[in-house]
Structures are given as C-alpha cells and as structure tokens.
Amino acid sequence: MTQLEIMGKSAKVAARMLATASTGAKNFALKAISEALIENSAKIIECNNIDIENARQNGMPESIIDRLKLDEQRIKNMAKGVDDVIALPDPIGRSIDGSKHANGMVINKVTVPLGVIGIIYEARPNVTSDAAALCLKSGNAVILRGGKEAINSNSAIAQIMRNAIEKTGLSADCINFVTDTSRETASQMMRLNEYIDVLIPRGGAGLISAVVNNSTVPVIETGTGNCHTYVDKSADIEMAVNIVNNAKTSRPSVCNACESVLVHKDIADKFLPAMYAKLREKDVTVRGDDAVCSILDNAEKANEEDWGKEYLDYIIAAKIVADIDEAIEHICTYSTGHSECIVTSDYANAQKFLTQIDAAAVYVNASTRFTDGGEFGLGAEIGISTQKLHTRGPMGLNELTTVKYLIYGNGQIR
C-alpha cells in the first residue's frame, strides 16, 4: 500500500464515523479548530515565513507572494471563516422527498455525506481551513493536497486542525493532508476510486483540465469563467458602464469577472467611449474587433484567441454585434458556462437571453461578480461548479451531500 492508500483507508474509516456524528459534535470540533488556529498563530506564521522566503528565492512576483502571506489578522479571518460554518445549518439528515408505497412501505429520501472528498488546490493557505471546515460540517472526511508554494503553511494548519478535533473525540483522520506535492501523488489521488468519492480541483485552468482528463474518481469541475456582458440596443448607458466597470475591475483575478463585452451596433457610438472613459481610470486595456477599434482610438486589435480568453487581469475584449442573436451565438461559442449578463430595458430581449443562454448564472442588469456562495445565500462556498452534473454554480454545504433512500417495511415482497 502506498502512503496515499493508507491515508485513503484511514479517511474512509473516519468518514463512516463522521457520517453519523451529531451536529453538536461537529460544531464542537469546528470550535476547537477555530480556537487552535488563533492559539497557534505564531507557529503558523513561522512556517509561512519559510514559504515566503522560498517564494522570494524562486523569484515569485510580489503580487502572488502577497496572497501567500499570513499574518495575525489573516489567521483571525481564517478562524472567523470556521466560526461562520458553525453558524450554518447542518445539511445532513434532511428529508427531501418521500412517499408511501401502495403496499404500505414508507420511503424516505434523506441527505447523507458524500464520504471522502479529495481537494487538489493551488493558491492561498486559507483554503486549507475553509475546505476542511465545510467538509467536516457536512460530515465528509477530506484529503487535502495543496500546492508546493504553501506546503509549510498548509502542513502546519492541517496538523493544528487534526490535533484540535482529536481532542474533541472525533478522529484526526477526518482531516488529511498530503505532504508530498509531487505530480505523481496528485495523479494517484485522481485514481483512488476505492477511497475517494469525489474530487474537487480548485485553481487555474491547467490544474482543472489535468484533473478532468486524468481522474477516474468523479470530479466536480470548478472555476474557469469566460464571462460576457452584452449591452443591448435599449440599455441604459450609465447602468451598462457601471456594470461592465464593476464586473471587470472590482476584482479582475476571480472567475466571475467579466472578460468580454458585446455591444449592439446601434448603441456602440455612445456606449464604448463612455465605457472607455470609466475603464481607463483603472488602466484597463481594451482589445476590440475592427468596428470597436474604429470607435476607440486606444483599443488594441483583438484576434480570435481573445474571445476565448480568461484574462484575469485589467484587459477586456470588446466586439460589436448586429443584434441580440449574434450576441447569443457568440456567447454560446465562447462561454465556459459560468456567468453571463445582458444589460437591456427590453422585456422580450431579457427573457430571450435568460432562456437561451446556457450558464450557471444568467443576469439581467446586474454584475456577474455576484456569482458567489455568500451572495447567493449559501453562507459559504467551496467553489463554483461549471459542470452540469451534481451541481452548478456556487457550492455550499448542501452541495457536499448526496442522498440515501430509507425504506420501512413489514414483510413486503415484489
């Protein structure tokens, strides 16, 4: 047995017990985690300093180093994140359907945990505690495999969480952390069907496609967002400018940021200069088609690649379309099915866009930046699903459950 198989086996045993743990027991363990994170801040920061030093030596850009960095305030925020999960309702054991069979059997469909969830992630160390807390509350054991950049921070956080829950009576193996950050281990995780029920990759497009292409464990694909805003002929120009500006510039590095703007030809003359005047405040580059470039002197020429690109940066692609149908066609071709928006004052066009666009979230007259578990009322979020199986859009605690049918008979045969 490999080290990972041994971990998987322990996680599966822990998951069986955790599945039947009471809400009180789970919340007690979460409270212990939150307190332990605060108490061990110094230790976490010490380990984080090693990651930061390594990152500097490897020439990592300061903007990324900043995301990696932990200080007392950030650790307090991590603990606060765990406390927030305590406050959420327990998603396990809800009866979501049921019936009485003609023969008298009572059939009850209830929510149960998925079992063991594998999470392969890059990025910030706070994912370690966020993901562990959501999995624990939903009764799932978790196997965490973070990026090598944060290995020392993540290991410390995971070990602190394991120690904390063990003291409350839950098995430490409810939370497992893979210290080997080699590609081989990630690949092994993707084929650990015997022990992992679901794999959730969180990170860039490269990581996600590697998991989708190589995993035999069922995957929930997350995150890639090539989001569009279509400014219809009847749009309120000021509203359209504010929405595009917010969707592009409030946080360009996230998946619900706008990457392309499509403009109806009849409104382009008015809208594009107004949009550009606003976007240039944040030094946004516009990459336009010929028609856009003929209106905006400062626009760069877009090529085919730009339409499919998730810039995650202060760059926006822009294209002029003849009508809403051309806008819908363009979106159907290039969308990643994350979040799409129309700005319009035309009722029929709003309905058409809502009906014909196939994405997790379709907006009329609001910024795509709202696609988020907190904003949608889920309380917390483990990622945003861009696939159609299991769940679509922001995933909260309910999305980390599956179902089981309980059948109460008294001798029925078929």
**Local structure of 264: helix, strand or coil:** strand
Nearest distance in Å: CB 81, a copy of itself: 19
Tell me the residue type at 354.
L
Is residue 225 involved in binding a copy of itself (CB under 8 A)? no
Decide if 138 contacts 111 (C-beta within 8 A). Answer: no
CB of 32 to a copy of itself, least distance (A): 25
The verdict on 334 binding a copy of itself (CB under 8 A) reads no
End-to-end CA distance of the chain: 43
Burial class (CB in 10 A: 0-12, 13-18, 19+), 186: buried
Residues 142-161 that bind a copy of itself (CB under 8 A): none
380, 80 in Cβ contact below 8 A?
no
Q: Which of 341, 339, 347 is nearest to 366 (CA)?
A: 341
Phi, psi of 22 (to 5 degrees): -75, 160
Asked whether position 20 contacts a copy of itself by CB under 8 A, the answer is: yes
Return the number of the residue (49 or 356) whose C-beta is nearest a copy of itself: 356
Question: x/- contact string, 240-259, with a copy of itself (CB under 8 A)?
Answer: --xx-xxx--x---------
> Per this entry, what is the length of the chain?
414
Q: Which residues pair with 287 in a beta bridge?
A: 300, 317
- For residue 122 the two structure tokens come to 């890059």
| Contacting range for a copy of itself; rule: CB under 8 A; set: 36-44, 47-55, 83-91, 368-376 | 368-376
Pick from 58, 73, 213, 333: which binds a copy of itself (CB under 8 A)?
Answer: 213
Work out whether 22 is an interface residue with a copy of itself (CB under 8 A). no
Position among 38, 76, 370, 379 found at the interface with a copy of itself (CB under 8 A): 370
Q: Which residue has the tokens 């200080």?
A: 71
Binding-site size for a copy of itself (CB under 8 A) equals: 68
Rounded distance, CA 119 to CA 223, Å?
Answer: 14
Could you say whether residue 107 binds a copy of itself (CB under 8 A)? yes
Residue type, 74: R
Among 219, 231, 255, 284, binds a copy of itself (CB under 8 A): 219
CA distance 227 to 368: 7
Six-digit token pair at 278? 């606003």
Does residue 309 belong to the site contacting a copy of itself (CB under 8 A)?
A: no
CB of 386 to a copy of itself, least distance (A): 11
Kindly state whether residue 403 participates in binding a copy of itself, applying the rule CB under 8 A.
yes
The residue ranges that bind a copy of itself (CB under 8 A) are 16, 19-20, 99, 101, 105, 107, 112, 114-115, 193, 197-198, 212-213, 216, 218-221, 236, 239, 242-243, 245-247, 250, 332, 354-356, 358-367, 369-371, 375-377, 387-393, 402-414
